Structures are given as structure tokens and as C-alpha cells.
Homo-oligomer: A and B are copies of this chain.
Amino acid sequence: MGRAGLIVIDMLNTYEHDDAEALVASVRTALPGVTALLERARAAGAPVVYVNDNFGRWRSHHGEILQTALSGPRADLVEPIAPDEESLFVVKARHSVFYETPLAYLLKQLDVRRVVLCGQVTEQCVLYSALDAHIRHLDVVVATDAVAHIDTELADAALRMMERNMAAELRLSGDISFQEARSA
């Protein structure tokens, strides 16, 4: 039947781009949800995959990207969700976590059929990733209290689009069980 995996989108960020200010406030609100999901997924032995932009640094690896983010002014938004020794990594160019990345291949290898999405930005990469997961016949869960946005109205619309048109389940992080998903 396949199992569930947690996809952590673009959370290794220095927050120095445009729109960062609005985003930072929302990320602060979403952090407890993301950390709760990380704990639950790790406790259940479910795969955790960080998918992240590399900010055009095609030489840097995830350790360096993490260090850059931790050295920045917003280390408090990065430290709580930092990858552990078991975390997996996929670099994306931009847009969806699936577009021109090996994520679909990795999930197939891990027998993951159900992806739990958290991270940023709700009305951008999270939305595009939900669409691409749905097109690829994966079940999609979006943790509504663990995603961060820039524009509140667009984010609300994005969540409704995911639920209505991409068959995504919208759930609070506290209601997402990776065990349940695994046995489903």
C-alpha cells in the first residue's frame, strides 16, 4: 500500500529575499507545526525529505546551505527544524519540489505513496508541489498549521484549491499520524 513521508519545503532559508518580512512572521507561526511533524515522522520511522532551493549556489551542499541559514539573521527560524542524521535531501531549482528533481524517484525507492507537505510558501511552492504530487498519483496531505505564506488571502485560496481540485487532505499537524498513514 505504500507509506507516508514528510516533505519539508524550503525551510533552509536566509530570509533575505523580497517579501521576506511578511514571510518571516508566518514562518514563526508555522514553526511549532513543522517541529511537531518532524517529531512524529521521526518517531514513526517515516522518511523525512528536505527539498530546498540552493539559491543558485550549485557548488554548495546541504550542510553548507544549512550553515549559511544558521549564520544569518533568522537562525531562530532554522535551528528548530534543522535536519538530523537521518534526514534526506533533494535540491530543487525553483517551483515545485518535483519539477526537474529526483524526488519522485526517491519516493518510489522508499515506497512512499502519501506525502505530508509542510514549509513555505503556501501559495507558491507548496501549491505547485501539491499539484505535481496529485498529477503523479501520490496522496497529498497539507499540514495547515505548518505552512507559511506571504499573502494571507492567496494562501487561503491556495489551500482551498489544493483541497477542492487536487484531492489534498487539509489537516492540523496534531492530527497527522505517520503510523496511521503507513498502515493505510
Q: Are B105 and A100 in contact (CB under 8 A)?
A: yes
State the oligomeric state as a number of copies: 4
Across the interface, which residues of B come within 8 angstroms of A1, CB to CB?
Answer: none
Please measure, in the bound complex, the distance between the C-alpha atom of A99 and the C-alpha atom of B63, giving whole angstroms: 25
By size class, the interface of chain A is 35 or more
Residues of B within 8 A of A157 (CB): 153-154, 157-158, 161
Closest to A63 in B: B61
Complex alpha-carbon distance, A89 and B54, angstroms: 11
Is A101's beta carbon under 8 Å from chain B? Answer: yes
**Once the chains are docked, how many angstroms separate the CA of A87 from the CA of B170?**
41
Among B58, B87, B102, B164, contact of A100 (Cβ-Cβ < 8 Å): B102
Which residue numbers of A lie inside 8 Å of B, CB to CB?
49, 56, 58-59, 61-63, 85-95, 99-106, 108-109, 123-124, 127-128, 131, 135, 137, 151, 153-154, 157-158, 160-161, 164-165
Query: Known pairs A100-B100, A123-B165, A157-B158. 11 more at Cβ < 8 A?
Result: A56-B109, A58-B89, A58-B90, A61-B63, A93-B102, A93-B105, A94-B105, A95-B131, A101-B102, A128-B131, A151-B164
